[in-house]
């Protein structure tokens, strides 16, 4: 196997899910497996976790089809936008549609009736993201249409998505007003009020709500129990990463991902010699330089050059010189680092948050940008 690889702790993922479920009960839990299971490797994560999830969420129809072809039987909600020409796939692969417009719901109903095939649908309400979905003040027509759909369309759910739900700072937080997102859950609370107004449209017509009302993403799962309704949708939280650095950690989760490699080359570099493209770093003394076979083609961002660190044989060392497409170099000083020595790129004390700081991004991008060419090794038996 390639020296550079990911280790994914499947039992830790299950423990994270169990902790979330215990906290939100009796609400159900939708596990988000989009973007290759947030970089963890959906082919290994999905078969293991599906038996323990009430629902699975993906972003695009192709992700749902992939899961079905793997043999996953758990209900799958395609949460992103959908084109009318993609609707046949929902029927063929038993996927749940996020009806994000009146036109899309009408088209799904017409296709269902003409083919005599059933489809489950969740109405998507836009309460403040301005991404996809029917705005709450325009939702009445969607509600009316949902009440007269044919017998082949099941309006199973209704949902919205928070734009700001992870901004509750811990006491003593030193985040400045310039960098602190808008907040203290004011925006999320306003979105929740708007969503409840839409739900009231059902009540005025003496019709029951759809069975699954859901709004809570990771931040709201931690901070807003009033948003749980019938189901929560933890994304990054399920993978053991908190959605904000200073968020109140009301649920205990731990990362399940470790990024490992091995030293592929080791040599002593003389005083004044430059390392890598652009000669951005020169040795200030005779020093040992170790080469690690991982680069920006693997998701180790080039913009982290001369900022990161790795752990070799239990000791932290700085990365030096321009990060290359397939390799980067480490300054091991006077230590005897040898070819084949173990390298930890993320994990064992190097957090996704730390890599995010070095890259000037967030933890989500760090994990989801780990390339498919990095092998995933799944620890723990698949059920």
Provide the annotated active-site residues: 34, 277
Q: Exposed e or buried b for every residue in 270-284, given b needs 16+ CB within 10 A?
A: eeeeebbeeeebebe
Q: In what order do the strands lie in the sheet with 287-292?
A: 265-269, 287-292, 328-333, 315-320, 309-312, 342-346, 257-262, 5-9, 376-379
Q: What tokens were used for 381?
A: 């038996």
Kindly state the DSSP code that residue 253 receives in the 8-state scheme: -
**Phi, psi at 60, each rounded to 5°:** -130, 155
Q: What tokens were used for 334?
A: 């006077």
Q: What tokens were used for 140?
A: 């009445």
For 168, what's the count of Cα atoms within 13 Å in the CB-facing half-sphere? 17
From residue 88, give the alpha-carbon distance in Å to each of 111, 118, 133, 214, 338: 8, 11, 20, 25, 56
């Amino acid at each position: 196997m390639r020296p550079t690889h990911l280790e994914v702790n499947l039992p830790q993922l299950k423990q994270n899910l169990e902790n979330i479920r215990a906290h939100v009960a009796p609400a159900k839990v939708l596990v988000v497996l989009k973007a290759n299971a947030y970089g963890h490797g959906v082919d290994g994560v999905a078969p293991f976790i599906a038996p323990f999830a009430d629902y699975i969420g993906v972003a695009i129809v192709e992700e749902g089809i992939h899961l079905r072809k793997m043999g996953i039987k758990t209900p799958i909600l395609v949460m992103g936008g959908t084109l009318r020409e993609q609707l046949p796939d929902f029927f063929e692969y038993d996927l749940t549609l996020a009806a994000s417009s009146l036109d899309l719901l009408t088209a799904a109903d017409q296709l269902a009736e003409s083919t005599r095939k059933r489809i489950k649908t969740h109405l998507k309400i836009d309460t403040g993201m301005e991404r996809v979905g029917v705005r709450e003040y325009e939702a009445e027509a969607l509600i009316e249409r949902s009440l007269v759909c044919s017998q082949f369309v099941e309006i199973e759910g209704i949902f919205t998505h928070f734009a700001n739900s992870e901004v509750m700072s811990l006491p003593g937080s030193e985040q400045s007003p310039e960098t602190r997102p808008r907040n203290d859950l004011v925006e999320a609370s306003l979105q929740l009020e708007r969503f409840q107004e839409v739900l009231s449209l059902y009540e005025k017509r003496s019709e029951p709500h759809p069975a699954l009302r859901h709004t809570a993403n990771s931040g709201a799962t931690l901070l807003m129990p009033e948003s749980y309704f019938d189901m929560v949708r933890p994304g990054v939280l399920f993978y053991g990463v908190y959605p904000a650095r200073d968020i109140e950690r009301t649920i205990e989760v731990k990362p399940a991902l470790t990024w490992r490699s091995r030293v592929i080359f080791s040599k002593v570099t003389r005083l004044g010699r430059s390392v890598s493209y652009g000669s951005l770093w020169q040795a200030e003394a005779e020093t040992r330089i170790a080469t690690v076979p991982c680069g920006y083609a693997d998701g180790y961002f080039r913009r982290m050059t001369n900022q990161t660190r790795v752990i070799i044989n239990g000791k932290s060392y700085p990365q030096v010189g321009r990060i290359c497409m397939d390799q980067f170099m480490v300054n091991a000083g006077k230590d005897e680092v040898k070819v084949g020595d173990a390298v930890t790129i993320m994990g064992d004390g190097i957090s996704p948050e730390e890599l995010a700081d070095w890259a000037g991004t967030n933890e989500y991008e760090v994990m989801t940008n780990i390339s498919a060419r990095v092998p995933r090794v799944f620890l723990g038996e698949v059920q």
